[in-house]
């Protein structure tokens, strides 16, 4: 039951070239940044990456892209990473763009043991090309397949040694789905608490879905785009 490892490097020591890697996060919120850096430093290549987005050029998953460690990516929103765009347009990166809700459901299906499902999302668009389509109640639906992974990297606010996790606000995003869809889930937490301290009713992800836990050594509170304005005064 004790799942805590001493470092991010130790947690990813058995990652190999060519694996399918699922990673939580939405934009730069909820990114398992310590684990991502450890994967980068380990130098594994030919990664098949599944994540909502690719981070930015220098943050999050962007560091794996810049190091050419990713050969294929399934994602939804990739608009903040110029290196991703360059590799895609240059034919250096295989990309499957997936509607965000469909991506979430494909991960959820993998965690639930559902191999495939039909959805109306994407019917009549380029995504439907070459895909099986069936009509339900007179409406076309596409067949979509689940997205299981060899390893999953997730970020949580609090966790215990049994792998029970609590996420903080929007940083929850895709993390629980990734954890359930991966064969081996590695969680980094900001705070490790004693077993029994977490209120069972407040646990977002039970430890049965988590195989390894590390405590992050530092966390950057990145902001993708900062917009500010002058505070209005009484005169204005």
The tens digit of pLDDT for each residue in 104-128 reads 999 999 999 999 999 999 999 999 9
Query: Quick check: 140 pLDDT over 60?
Result: yes
Give the domain ranges of the chain.
8-123+138-215
Sheet of strand 133-136: strand arrangement: 116-119, 139-145, 133-136
pLDDT confidence bin for 235, thresholds 50/70/90: low
Distance separating the N- and C-terminal Cα atoms of the chain: 61
- Report the distance separating Cα 138 and Cα 71, nearest Å: 39
**Residue found by looking up tokens 């992800």 in the block:** 205
What is the CATH topology of the domain spanning 8-123+138-215?
Answer: Glutaconate Coenzyme A-transferase (3.40.1080)
Encode pLDDT of 181-205 as tens digits: 999 999 999 999 999 999 999 999 9
Nearest to 25 by CA among 83, 76, 85: 76
> Higher model confidence: residue 81 or residue 227?
81
CA 232 vs CA 53, 204, 221, 226, 228: distances in Å? 36, 40, 27, 18, 12
Q: Is the pLDDT of residue 219 over 80?
A: no
Q: What is the 3-state secondary structure (H, E, C) of the chain?
A: CCCECCCHHHHCCCCCCCCEEEECCECCECCCHHHHHHHHHHCCCCEEEECCCCCCCCCCCHHHHHCCCEEEEEECCCCCCHHHHHHHHCCCCEEEECCHHHHHHHHHHHHHCCCEEEECCCCCCHHHCCCCEEEECCEEEEEEECCCEEEEEEEEEEECCCCCEECCHHHHCCHHHHHHHEEEEEEEEEEECCCCCCCHHHCCECHHHCCEEEECCCCCCCCCCCCCCCCCCCCC
Residue 228: pLDDT over 80: no
In 3D, which of 116, 80, 126, 77 has the Cα closest to residue 100?
Answer: 77
Radius of gyration of the chain measured on its C-alpha atoms: 19
Angle at 122 between CA 121 and CA 123, to 5 degrees: 95
Q: For the whole prediction, is pTM greater than 0.85? A: yes
**Average pLDDT score over the chain:** 93
Give residue 220's pLDDT band: very low, low, confident or very high (50, 70, 90): low
Q: Are 158 and 193 in contact (CB under 8 A)?
A: yes
Residues 22-78: pLDDT tens digits? 999 998 889 999 999 999 999 999 999 999 998 887 888 999 999 999 999 999 987
**At which residue do the structure tokens 């599944």 appear?**
50
């Amino acid at each position: 039951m004790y799942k805590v490892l001493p470092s991010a490097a130790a947690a990813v020591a058995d990652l190999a070239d060519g694996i399918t890697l699922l990673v939580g996060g939405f934009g730069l919120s909820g990114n398992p940044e310590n684990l991502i850096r450890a994967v980068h430093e380990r130098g594994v290549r030919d990664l098949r990456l599944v994540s909502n987005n690719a981070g930015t050029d220098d943050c999050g998953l962007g560091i794996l892209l810049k190091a050419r460690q990713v050969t294929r990516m399934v994602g939804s929103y990739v608009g903040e990473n110029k290196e991703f765009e360059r590799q895609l347009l240059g034919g250096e990166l295989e990309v499957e763009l997936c509607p965000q809700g469909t991506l979430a459901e494909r991960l959820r299906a993998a965690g639930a043991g559902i191999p495939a499902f039909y959805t109306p999302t994407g019917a009549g668009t380029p995504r439907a090309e070459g895909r099986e389509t069936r009509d339900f109640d007179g409406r076309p639906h596409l067949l979509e397949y689940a997205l299981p992974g060899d390893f999953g990297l997730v970020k949580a606010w609090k966790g215990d040694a049994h792998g029970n996790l609590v996420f903080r606000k929007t940083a929850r995003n895709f993390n629980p789905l990734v954890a359930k869809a991966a064969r081996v889930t590695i969680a980094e937490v900001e705070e490790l608490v004693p077993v029994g301290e977490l209120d069972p009713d407040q646990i977002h992800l039970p430890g049965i879905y988590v195989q390894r836990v590390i405590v992050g050594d530092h966390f950057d509170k990145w902001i993708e785009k900062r917009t500010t304005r002058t505070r209005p005064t009484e005169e204005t």
